[in-house]
Amino acid sequence: MTPSSNSTGPSASRTAPPKGSAAGNSRASLSRRSGAGGIASCGSGSGGAGSCDGESVASGTSSGALGGRPWRRARNRGRLSAAAIRGVSQCVDAIAPPSPDRTVPRRAEPAGALRVRGTNGLVTSLHRVPGPQRCGRRRKLLPKRRPDAWTPPVVNGCAGERLSAGPPSARSSVSSAPSGGHVSLHPQVETLRARLVAAGTRPLYTLDLAEARAADLAAARSAGGVPEPVGSVLDAEIPGPGGLLPVRVYRPESDGRPLPVLCYFFGGGWTLGTLDTCDAICRRLANAAGCVVVTVGYRLAPEHKFPAALYDCRAAVEWITGHADAHGGDGSRLALGGDSAGANLAAALALHLRDHGGPPIAAQLLVYPNTDHLADTASRRENQDTVFFNHRSVDWYWRHYLADPAHGADPYASPLRAGDLGGLPPALVITAEYDPLRDEGEQYAECLAAAGVPVALSRYDGMIHGFFAMPGELDAATTAQDEAAAFLAERLAEVRV
C-alpha cells in the first residue's frame, strides 16, 4: 500500500491489507442488561429488537433477529449508587427499555453554552472560557434537581426533568430559544441561511436518495474549508462483515514514534456520507491532536439496516488495533469519535466493546450525537426550520436506518437506553444550541457523568446541527475542532502502555 505524501485531497489508491486481518464476517448478537446485572430478554415483544435471552448469550450464540455471530458474555456491572452522585439527575438501577410508545421527557436548559467536567461522576470544576465570538462556551455545573420539579419516569438508569420551553407566542419560524426567548442565530449562521434560501436549497429529505447523497457530499466539500496537508493519506480495503470495507488512514508529520489512534465515523444519518465527507475534519484532527486518524466507509442504510454499520465499525476498530504499527500508530492508545450518526456509532460501539469484549478505548468524541430513537425533547419540537437539519430530518434518517421501529429501543441503536453506562471511556460531548439533537446529547452526557464516567459537555451558542464540519463557513467550527483535538491529545497522552 502506497501512501500519498502531504496530500490535500482524498487519496485514490486502494489496496487490501494482509489476509487474516479482519474481524469475523458474520453478524453479532446484541444483548441487553437486566436490573440485577444479568442478561434481560429483548425478544420481539414490546420494545424488543430480537431475541437475546440469557441462555443464548451465555453459550456465546444468538438466534435472535439481529443475531448470528458469537460474542463473549456481557459482564455483570452491578448497580449504580445514587448517593455517590451530586449535582446530576437521579441515578437508579438499570432497567429494561421502555416500550416504543413511551417518550423520554427532557428538561429544557436555559440558553447558553454548558460545560460539564466530571471525575468519577462528580463535578469538579467551574470556570468561564473566553471565546472569539458569541458562540464561545460557558462552563457550568449540571444543575441540581429542583425540589418541586416534576420527575418523569426513569429511563435506563438516569431520570431527567422537563421544564416549560415558553409559550407558542415566543417561538419563531426557526426555533424557540430554550428558555422561551427570541431566537438568536449566530450572524455567520444567519448569513449562511440567507444564502441557502436565495439558492433555493431543498431539504435533503425531500430528494431521492441519490440526489441527497450527492448534495450532502457537495455541501461537505463546500463548507469544509481548504483541506490541510498531512504527512500521508492511505486508502485501503479491509475484510468486513459484509465484504470489503473501505478505510482511510491519515498520519500527521511526526518524529517517527508511534502515535495514538482515533477511529472516526462520518455523519449523515447512517444514510448519507462517504470517506470524502469527513476528509477535512480528519486532516485537522490528525494534525491538531497529533494522532493517526482512521475513518471507515461503513455500509449505509436503507440498503443495509441496523446493525450493519455498527458491525462494520467494530471490524475496522479490530483491524486497526492489530495493524496500527504498520501505519505509525499505537493500537493501545485508541479513541472513538464521530459527528451526528457517526457519534451515535461511536457511542454504541463503546458500549458494544465494553459488553462483548474488544480493544480498550481511551476516549470517545461525540459531536451532536443521536442517542435516542424515541426522544421527545424540547429541542426536537422547537427546531423546525426547513433550511437546516430539523425534526423531519431526524425522523427521515431513523426510518432509513431501522428495519423495525422496535429496534430503536436497542441500546446499540439508542445508547441513552442502555441500562448501565458505567465503565465507558471518558467523553467529550459537543452540542449546538439550535439542533434537534441538542437535548438528547446533553442528557447522554448527564447520564455518563451519573454513571461515574469522566465527561465534558460543551454547548455552542447560536450554532446549528452540522456546524462542526463547516470551518469554511463558521468560525465556531474551528473552535470546536480545536477543543476536540485538545481533548483527544490530553486523554490519549494519559494512557499508560
> Coil, strand or helix: which one is 138?
strand
Whether 435 is catalytic is yes
Strands 259-265 and 329-339: parallel
Whether 340 is catalytic is yes
Candidate list 11, 29, 62, 340, residue with the active-site label: 340
The enclosing H or E element of 210 equals helix 209-223
Burial class (CB in 10 A: 0-12, 13-18, 19+), 403: middle
The residue count of the chain comes to: 497
Q: How far apart are CA 355 and CA 398, in angstroms?
A: 24
Is residue 330 a contact partner of residue 260, using CB atoms and an 8 Å limit?
Answer: yes
Cβ contacts of 195 within 8 Å, gap of 6 or more: none
Cβ contacts of 94 within 8 Å, gap of 6 or more: 33, 34, 35, 37, 77, 79, 80, 156, 157, 418, 419, 420
Q: How far apart are CA 478 and CA 467, in angstroms?
A: 9
Candidate list 356, 373, 400, 465, residue with the active-site label: 465
Q: How far apart are CA 462 and CA 439, in angstroms?
A: 15
Is residue 450 a contact partner of residue 80, using CB atoms and an 8 Å limit?
Answer: yes
C-alpha cell at 18: 494482509
Please provide the DSSP assignment of 267-324 as one string. -STTTS--TTTTHHHHHHHHHHHTSEEEEE-PPPTTTS-TTHHHHHHHHHHHHHHHHG
Q: Return the number of other C-beta atoms located less than 10 Å from residue 44's C-beta.
A: 12
The type of residue at 474 is L
Integer-rounded Cα radius of gyration of the chain: 21
In this structure, what DSSP letter does residue 244 have? E
In this structure, what DSSP letter does residue 158 have? B
The enclosing H or E element of 220 equals helix 209-223
Whether the upstream peptide bond of residue 229 has omega within 30° of 0, thus cis, is no
Strands 427-434 and 455-464: parallel
Candidate list 410, 435, 439, 461, residue with the active-site label: 435
> Coil, strand or helix: which one is 105?
coil
Q: How far apart are CA 244 and CA 297, in angstroms?
A: 10
Q: How far apart are CA 483 and CA 429, in angstroms?
A: 11
Helices assigned H by DSSP within 377-494:
378-382, 391-401, 438-450, 475-494
Which residues are catalytic, by number? 340, 435, 465
